[in-house]
């Protein structure tokens, strides 16, 4: 067999890349499209603004689940972001390159690979039982913060390490302290990467079900405080699909979930643009 | 004339490798001192010791003294931030922050705690004028410093240093990434700046050293081989190795 000419190889390679790319996009569109097509017609104000009533037919709507989900996102992020960014700043900017920090990095990587239900068990044992938080939004948020922490630390650290060293040197040479260089030069430059990490973590909160079932419980009531239990949309989807025959409502809940993710994504990106523009001090005109 | 800066028996080590061997050298105020020598001779390492930029490089240590106005900048009670404020640095690659031109120049004063808008405006204009960049950017101060040309970026970096009002400016091959025209502009600028500042420049380019500097030091393998008036060093080198280098026999 004769060797293919470089030109022909190039054509095949391009065709292969194109086909796989199209397949990946189609599969994603198919899933999202299917859920939206099946779910959206079921959604009405009654469904959105009434709470689940149980029963084999999955009576009621999803209002308490939306509220629980939003609460969970806010509380988880309030715990996760300071911890994650703090650890990432330490690892990227301050940590010496020695065995101890190698060990920390190794642990972070290891934790990122542990299945979420194992974190759920940990949360159940520590937060729910030992700390007497019972099934609560707080217990769920703490558990999710543990689950997502390794991921956020890694993505934020990568983003900060991608900022050229010359930028830090420039800041230091101007009389900035290391902390000032981090806050005013490294973080603004790394912000897009950090925000992507945070968005993926929000997605993680919204998507998680098993580990929340054992820390937040499955109560469909409206949460009244951080210590009340709750059922997130994802847990509700699981419940509807397994315990009732209201598949249409499961799809509708799934559709709401997708819409919420898109909205949060847009808000976060807008906020990040706003923040970055402020940090850079750029304006479209002079000063 | 007084020495603005002085090093005494300065040695520097990367791990166990000795990068500088007992360098004793005085830098005269309001003059330009050029450090020349082949790659890896230690001239950049030496320059970075003058404002403690090597502090952050792990596993290094230093013996000897670096004096700024007769005070050792490596003495334990000395604040490194204060040293870097007094001894500014311009790097080889123009490295403006991905911020507006205004924010780039205002960065140093802001880090030192200045937040008064009118004062900042004044400093920004004064520094950009001193760096011969004002006329080119005055209508676009809100634009990103990254969209400027390489030569303009380097002048922006110089303006950024001037805004902190240093006494000494260290330049690490500031023109090596620039075209000949931009290089000449920076050299003109250096001649203007030396009336107010003391300048130390590391350069690969011997013509540049001859054009701009009053004093020149030739480094080789971590040693200061010869240090003299630039005119002397280039026309009547006393050391054979200096002569070999400047006549292009190696390096």
Q: Which residues contact B56 (CB under 8 A, 6 or more apart)?
A: A172
The shortest C-alpha distance from B36 to chain A (Å) reads: 22
Domain A66-280 architecture: Orthogonal Bundle (1.10)
Decide: A280 and A263 in contact? Cβ < 8 Å: no
Closest CA to A263 of A129, A113, A66: A66
Using DSSP's 3-state secondary structure scheme, residue B214 falls into coil
Q: Determine how β-strand B168-172 pairs with β-strand B198-202.
A: parallel
Interface test with B, best of A101, A168, A174 (most B CBs within 10 A): A174
| Cα A191-A196-A197 angle, rounded to 5 deg | 100
Low-confidence ranges of chain B (pLDDT < 50): none
pLDDT at B10: 94
Asked whether the beta carbons of residue B88 and residue A174 sit closer than 8 angstroms, the reply is yes
Using DSSP's 3-state secondary structure scheme, residue B148 falls into coil
For chain B, the C-alpha Rg in angstroms (whole number) is 18
Q: Which residues contact A39 (CB under 8 A, 6 or more apart)?
A: A248, A251, A252, A253, A254, A255, A256
Residue A62: how many CB atoms within 10 A of its CB?
28
Interface test with A, best of B55, B58, B84, B146 (most A CBs within 10 A): B84
User: Token pair of B33, please?
Assistant: 């001192």
Q: Note whether residue B12 is domain-resident.
A: yes
Q: Note whether residue B141 is domain-resident.
A: no
pLDDT at A286: 39
Provide the total of helices (H) and of strands (E) in chain A, helices listed first: 12, 2
ipTM of the complex, rounded to two decimals: 0.90
Kindly report the CATH number assigned to the domain that includes residue B196.
3.40.50.300
Structural domain count, chain B:
1
Decide: B159 and B132 in contact? Cβ < 8 Å: no
Q: Which residue has the tokens 């922050």?
A: B97
**DSSP code per residue over B100-123:** BHHHHHHHHHHHTT---HHHHHHH
The shortest C-alpha distance from A191 to chain B (Å) reads: 12
Residue B74: how many CB atoms within 10 A of its CB?
17
A164 interaction partners in chain B (CB closer than 8 Å): 95
Interface test with A, best of B15, B52, B95 (most A CBs within 10 A): B95
Q: Which residue has the tokens 């009654």?
A: A46
Half-sphere exposure of B78 (CA within 13 A, CB side): 18
pLDDT at A234: 92
The shortest C-alpha distance from B95 to chain A (Å) reads: 6
Give B198's DSSP letter: E
Query: Which chain A residues touch B if contact means CB-CB below 8 Å?
Result: 96-97, 164, 166-167, 169-177, 180, 184-185, 188-189, 279-287
Minimum Cα–Cα distance from A97: chain B residue: B58
Query: Which chain B residues touch A if contact means CB-CB below 8 Å?
Result: 51, 53, 56, 58, 81-82, 84-85, 88-89, 91, 93, 95-100, 102-103, 106-108, 110-112, 121, 138-144, 157, 160-161, 164
pLDDT at A210: 87
**Domain map (residue ranges) of chain A:** 66-280
Closest CA to A105 of A96, B76, A82: A96
Provide the total of helices (H) and of strands (E) in chain B, helices listed first: 10, 10
pLDDT at B1: 56
Q: Which of A173, A180, A281 sits opposite B89 (nearest CB)?
A: A173
Q: Note whether residue B18 is domain-resident.
A: yes
Residue B167: how many CB atoms within 10 A of its CB?
16
Residue B209: how many CB atoms within 10 A of its CB?
25
User: Distance from CA of residue A190 to its chain's centroid?
Assistant: 18
Using DSSP's 3-state secondary structure scheme, residue B73 falls into coil
Asked whether the beta carbons of residue A173 and residue B98 sit closer than 8 angstroms, the reply is no
Asked whether the beta carbons of residue A167 and residue B97 sit closer than 8 angstroms, the reply is yes
**Domain containing residue B39:** 3-96+167-246
Q: Note whether residue B199 is domain-resident.
A: yes
Q: Which residues contact B163 (CB under 8 A, 6 or more apart)?
A: B105, B106, B107, B108, B109, B123, B124, B127
User: How far, in Å, CA of A73 to CA of A212, rounded?
Assistant: 12
The shortest C-alpha distance from A262 to chain B (Å) reads: 29
Per-residue pLDDT of chain A (287 residues; tens, 9 = 90+): 567 788 889 999 999 999 999 999 999 999 999 999 999 998 998 899 988 887 777 888 899 999 999 999 999 999 999 999 999 999 999 988 888 888 888 888 898 889 999 999 999 999 999 999 999 999 999 999 999 999 999 999 999 999 999 999 999 999 999 999 999 999 999 998 999 899 999 989 998 888 999 999 888 888 888 888 889 999 999 989 888 888 899 999 999 999 998 898 898 888 888 888 877 776 544 34
Q: Note whether residue B196 is domain-resident.
A: yes
Q: Which residues contact A201 (CB under 8 A, 6 or more apart)?
A: A76, A77, A80, A84, A148, A151, A152
Q: Note whether residue B153 is domain-resident.
A: no
């Amino acid at each position: 067999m004769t060797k293919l000419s470089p030109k022909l190889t190039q054509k095949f390679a391009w065709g292969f890349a194109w086909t796989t790319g199209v397949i990946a996009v189609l599969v994603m569109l198919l899933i999202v499209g299917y859920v939206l097509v099946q779910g959206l017609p079921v959604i009405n104000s009654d469904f959105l603004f009434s709470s689940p009533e149980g029963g084999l037919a999955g009576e009621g709507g999803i209002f308490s689940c939306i509220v629980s989900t939003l609460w969970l996102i806010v509380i988880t992020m309030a715990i996760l972001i300071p911890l994650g960014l703090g650890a990432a700043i330490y690892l990227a900017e301050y940590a010496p390159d020695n065995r101890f920090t190698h060990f920390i990095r190794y642990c972070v990587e290891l934790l990122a690979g542990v299945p979420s239900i194992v974190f759920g068990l940990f949360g159940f044992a520590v937060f729910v039982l030992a700390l007497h938080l019972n099934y609560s939004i707080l217990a769920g948020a703490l558990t999710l913060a543990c689950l997502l922490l390794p991921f956020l630390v890694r993505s934020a650290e990568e983003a900060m390490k991608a900022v050229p060293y010359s930028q830090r040197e420039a800041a230091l040479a101007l009389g900035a302290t290391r902390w000032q260089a981090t806050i005013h030069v490294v973080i603004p430059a790394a912000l897009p990467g950090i925000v992507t990490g945070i968005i993926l973590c929000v997605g993680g909160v919204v998507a998680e079900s098993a580990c929340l079932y054992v820390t937040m419980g499955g109560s469909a009531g409206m949460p009244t405080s951080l210590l009340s239990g709750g059922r997130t949309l994802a847990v509700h989807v699981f419940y509807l699909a397994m315990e009732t025959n209201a598949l249409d409502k499961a799809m509708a809940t799934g559709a709401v979930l997708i819409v919420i993710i898109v909205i949060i994504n847009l808000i976060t990106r807008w906020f990040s643009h706003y923040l970055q523009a402020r940090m850079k001090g750029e304006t479209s005109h002079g000063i | 004339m007084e020495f603005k800066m002085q090093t005494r028996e300065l040695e520097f080590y990367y791990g166990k490798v000795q990068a500088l061997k007992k360098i004793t050298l005085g830098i005269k105020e309001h003059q330009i001192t050029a450090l020349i020598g082949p790659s890896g001779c230690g001239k950049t390492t030496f320059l970075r010791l003058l404002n403690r930029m090597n502090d952050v490089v792990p596993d290094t240590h230093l013996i000897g003294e670096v004096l700024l106005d007769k005070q050792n900048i490596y003495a334990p009670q000395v604040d490194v931030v204060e040293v870097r404020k007094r001894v500014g640095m311009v790097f080889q690659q123009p490295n403006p922050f991905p911020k507006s031109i205004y924010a780039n120049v205002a960065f140093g004063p802001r880090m030192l705690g200045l937040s008064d808008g009118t004062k900042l405006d004044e400093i920004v204009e004064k520094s950009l004028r001193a760096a011969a960049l004002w006329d080119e950017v005055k209508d676009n101060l809100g634009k990103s410093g990254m969209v400027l040309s390489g030569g303009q970026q380097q002048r922006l970096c110089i303006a950024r240093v001037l805004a902190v009002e240093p006494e000494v400016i260290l330049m690490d091959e500031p023109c090596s990434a620039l075209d000949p025209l931009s290089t000449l502009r920076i050299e003109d600028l250096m001649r203007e700046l030396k009336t107010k500042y003391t300048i130390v420049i590391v350069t690969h380019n011997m013509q540049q050293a001859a054009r701009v500097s009053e004093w020149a030091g030739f480094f080789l393998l971590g040693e200061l081989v010869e240090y003299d008036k630039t005119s002397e060093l280039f026309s009547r080198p006393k050391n054979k190795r200096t002569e070999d280098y400047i006549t292009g026999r190696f390096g």
